[in-house]
Structure 1
Amino acid sequence: MRLIILVTTVFFTLTASAYAQTDREPVYPKVTSSEDYISPFDPLQDRDAGTRERLVAALTEQQLNRGYPPQAAIVLVGFDAEEMVIMSLHRHTLATSFQARAYLTQLAPSLRNLKMVADSGAARKAGTLDILKLFGFRRVVVSDGESYSLLINVF
């Protein structure tokens, strides 16, 4: 079962990247709220699309090993995989800015526990958006998958 979910997530990530580049299909509902986040951290030197893909794969694997279904799918979008999309897998979840921000805050310890993040050193004091900037993410979208999407530009 976990293998099926992992394969589906990887497939969705690759498909989302292709569609995002051609604008044929929306990956998430129209952005209903947006904000900018200015991180005090500088991106790591060795960050690239492959590094971001490994980060999302490790985070997904960590979620699948918890013993209960994940609350959201986390995928990459864009040719350079610089946009992370967090899509709720349940109705009425991640449907407000408050829920979206709470989910991002809750994600920080999970990210910090990943070896590749822990090895970066600065991540110990960093929040979720700071960690994502370290790895070269420029945008994060959190969506309920139906009608709400929060876009955060990470600077």
Structure 2
Amino acid sequence: MAVRMTIGLAALLLAVAGVVAAGPVRAQSDDRHAGYYYPEPTSSEDYEARAYTVPEATRKARIAFVTGITNEQNKAPYPPQAAIFAKGSEAEKMIIVALEDGRIDTIYRARAIFAQMTAVSRLLPIFAELGVEDYYTFFDLAKMLGFEQITISDGRDFAHQIIIK
């Protein structure tokens, strides 16, 4: 089920071209990807997911999800605005990095992108089948796929992490 929905979501997310969270802001410094893919995060927050990780949520499914998004981005008639990829031994960390200056450079823009991704995620058949299309967020979808962390960055100075619990 999770693999089947990933390609459809990838196309929908790319139509939005962009990625609601609540919780205390705190720094996280034990991130081995910081300094390589993005600067050291200056803030992070915990998201208590309402969803559960589905049994089909494997490393392969998470990689297929981000590969599907990248594939759809590359089909667009304009260059991608952000790179989205999975890292970690189980591909459990989603990373979103802006590819141009002036994008995703504040917490407010990051949250706006996540709000757009929530709106698009709510159009997925899986949310309708579960009856949660007005309740679950993009972070709940990420939890369903088995992602544990999402980092969003401008690729220069700003980086924010969401820890999905």
TM > 0.5: yes
Kindly indicate whether the alpha-carbon contact (under 8 Å) linking 2:38 and 2:155 is maintained by their aligned counterparts in 1.
yes
After superposition, residues 46-125 of structure 1 pair within 5 angstroms as: 46-111=56-121, 118-119=125-126, 121-122=129-130, 124-125=133-134
Shift of 1:36: 0.7
SS at match of 1:100: helix
Cα distance in 1 between the residues matched to 2:120 and 2:46? 23
Mapped pair 1:27 → 2:46 = no
Asked if structure 2 preserves the Cα contact closer than 8 Å seen for 1:59 and 1:110, the reply is no
Deviation at 1:109, TM superposition (A): 4.8
Please list every run of 5 or more consecutive structure 1 residues that lacks an aligned counterpart in the other structure: 1-20
The one-letter code matched in structure 2 to 1:65 is K
CA drift at 1:32: 0.8
Partner of 1:135: 145
Any idea what the Cα deviations from partners look like across 1:31-60, whole Å, max 9, x if unmatched? 111111111111111111100001111122
Percent of residue pairs identical: 30
In structure 1, how many angstroms separate the alpha carbons of the residues matched to 2:68 and 2:119?
Answer: 14
The gaps in structure 2 that reach 5 residues or longer are 1-30
Deviation at 1:63, TM superposition (A): 2.4
CA distance in 1, matches of 2:121, 2:75: 14
| Distance change >3 Å, CA 26–CA 67, structure 1 → 2 | same
After TM superposition, the score normalised by the length of structure 1 is 0.74
- Total equivalences in the alignment: 132
- Structure with higher helix content: 1
Q: Could you list the per-position Cα deviations for residues 92-151 of structure 1 after superposition, in whole angstroms to 9, with x for gaps in the alignment?
A: 2111111111112222355566xxx64574474432111101100000000000111001
CA distance in 1, matches of 2:97, 2:89: 19
Preserved CA contact (<8 Å) 1:52 1:136: yes
Q: Structure 1 stretches (4+) deviating beyond 6 angstroms? A: 21-25
TM-score, normalising length: structure 2: 0.70
State whether residues 47 and 136 of structure 1, in contact with CA within 8 Å, keep that contact through their aligned partners in structure 2. Answer: yes
